[in-house]
Structure 1
Amino acid sequence: MYDQHPAEAPPVPPAHEPTTVERGSFCTARCACGWSGPARRSRDRARSDAEEHRTTA
């Protein structure tokens, strides 16, 4: 078996750790994988969108 150099190793997919981002009076859940939830006025609903993404991804 051959040793792999770091440049040859397959890329590691980003972990699903969504966060919430506020923009004006709206809050959106976003994830490092590229997923983004809908803009919400309710921060609690944006947090639940993030948690739902974490459990289903």
Structure 2
Amino acid sequence: MAVTAAYQDGPEPARSGQEHLTTTTEQGRFCVARCSCGWRGPARRARSQARADAEGHTAAP
């Protein structure tokens, strides 16, 4: 049985005209950034990296 993993090159940019409220959530040993628009960042061991993913998502392109 093969396991497929999806990786992101970086946080997906926020869509314009939409308010983005980000949070981080603990999931066992990992931390995940989430946004009110439905975006979800990759699971990270470092909380600081999850927060950086959230900041990258909300940053204007």
TM-score by length of 2: 0.66
Identity value in percent: 56
**Paired residues of 1:17 and 1:32 also in contact (CA < 8 A):** yes
Unaligned runs of 5+ in 1: 1-12
Bigger-Rg structure (1/2): 1
Unaligned runs of 5+ in 2: 1-16
Choose between structure 1 and 2 for higher RCO, CA contacts under 8 A separated by at least 6 residues. Answer: 2
TM-score by length of 1: 0.70
Once superposed, what is the RMSD of the aligned Cα atoms?
1.7
Task: Tell me how many residue pairs correspond in the alignment.
Answer: 45
